[in-house]
Amino acid sequence: MEPFELTLAEAAAAVEERSLSPVELTESVLGRIDAVEERLQAYVTLAGETARDAAARAEREIAADGYRGPLHGMPFGLKDMIDAAGMPTTASSRVRADHLAQADSAVAGRLSAAGGVLIGKTHTHEFAYGLTTPQTRNAWDQDRIAGGSSGGSAVAVAAGTATFALGTDTGGSIRVPAALNGLVGLKPTYGLVPRHGVVALSWSLDHVGPLTRTVQDAALVLSALVGPVPQDPASLRTAPTAYPLPPGDGDLTGLRVGIPVNYYFDRVAPEVEAAVREAHTQLADMGAELVEVEIPMTRYVQATQWGLMVPEATASHERTLRSVPELYAPDVRILLEAGELVSAGDYLRAQRSRTLMRQAWLSMFDRIDVLAAPTVPMTATKTDQTSVSWPDGSTESVSDAYVRLSAPANITGLPSLSLPVGRDHAGLPIGMQLIGRPLEEAAVLRTGHAYETAHPCMRPPA
């Protein structure tokens, strides 16, 4: 096995015991980029020489007994919405083509302090306002979408061109590409990971989190990101937290897993439903108690998501939308212009709906510890596909289909973890998401880790 094929935890263990050096690992990842980047297009900016310098520095520090922890010497990618000092943050848009970050974002600074090696900035759907990331190709099938908006981050990790990467998630933008590329994607509790230095899409819905190959890897990265910063008023005043995962055979005795009886299995591809229901059975075999629950206020989910996101995004882009509208991609420009038509009353009604929905979901969690549901209703679509037809005769756009099952966790701010649970007839990955109570990342990580103990991480074709 080549070093770039190792999971983060495997690579970290090898570096700690000095059977693998950060320089060897980084060179392996850079070699992998040379081999696959031209066809996958995960990165918008690469930092090869800077990464080599950082890896050499990490190697010297470790040799001098200065090991900082499991991220020391690990090559990673940052979604190009996240500032890293001295590098462009373009949000994959011509609008920000000349932008150069003057300082690290909070999360980039923390990864640097942990000894991480930044390989480059990964593509996003322009300004994170979409679910496909059209520049980037799926790691499993290059004729299919990567998912979005953190598609570049997902493909980089799936293809072995980063040991982990960070993304942002406003309506599913970490979890959707994670599901479509056979990865683990974690959207933490709203405010748990600070967003200072991250380009905003919708300030009341935006989250930052990791994309990794395993749940164990996600726990390692999350541990380095948590903690408030004064520059982000929404960041929660929680102490830095570690998320250790128990070793063993995946015993889930005493855990109550919610099985949705509505919404999450409506208009879902049969293979996706079958894989997730089989995963439910496997969780029960590990000792979990399966509890059927009704998802509240489902008819308001998409109206609330769009009612919050669209006007907030338009407000963020008000100046440039007026001064350089021609620089936006057509699909993003249409959405931003549509936001100017949302009234203050509609926005306030969406805020009220979110409050009621969050209260209803918290009441539902009185009966369960985690909810287990499909991440997305279908696997990766072809790059030219724009709509989906369902057996009930209904159709919806690809973006609406992908956001439909992931949006509730953004509206409510609850932690949600997507992990692979199988493949469809074409060999494409299928994802299941585990949603928990506020600040109970440990519960969703424990549940996901128990499942993956029996299901090794999925590797895409070379």
Spatial separation of the C-alpha atoms in residues 446 and 250, rounded to whole Å: 8
Spatial separation of the C-alpha atoms in residues 142 and 159, rounded to whole Å: 12
Cβ–Cβ under 8 Å, residues 128 and 170: yes
Spatial separation of the C-alpha atoms in residues 19 and 21, rounded to whole Å: 7
353 a catalytic residue? no
Tokens 């190009």 belong to: 80
Cβ–Cβ under 8 Å, residues 133 and 149: yes
The residues, ordered by sequence, that sit 6+ positions from 252 with a Cβ below 8 Å of its Cβ are 283, 286, 287, 288, 446, 447, 450
Q: At what angle do helices 48-63 and 22-40 cross, to 10 degrees?
A: 160
Cβ–Cβ under 8 Å, residues 259 and 372: yes
Q: How many Cα atoms within 13 Å fall on the side-chain side of residue 124?
A: 35
Phi first, then psi: what are they for 125, rounded to 5°? -55, 140
Spatial separation of the C-alpha atoms in residues 278 and 359, rounded to whole Å: 30
The first and second tokens of residue 125, run together, are: 């759907």
204 a catalytic residue? no
Q: In what order do the strands lie in the sheet with 43-46?
A: 43-46, 117-122, 75-79, 164-169, 207-212, 184-187, 416-423, 429-436, 370-374, 256-260, 289-293
Cβ–Cβ under 8 Å, residues 119 and 125: no
Catalytic residue among 173, 202, 316, 353: 173
92 a catalytic residue? no
Does the N-terminal peptide bond of residue 149 adopt cis geometry, omega within 30 degrees of 0? yes
Catalytic residue among 28, 93, 105, 149: 149
Catalytic residue among 28, 79, 150, 406: 79
Catalytic residues, by residue number, are: 79, 149, 173
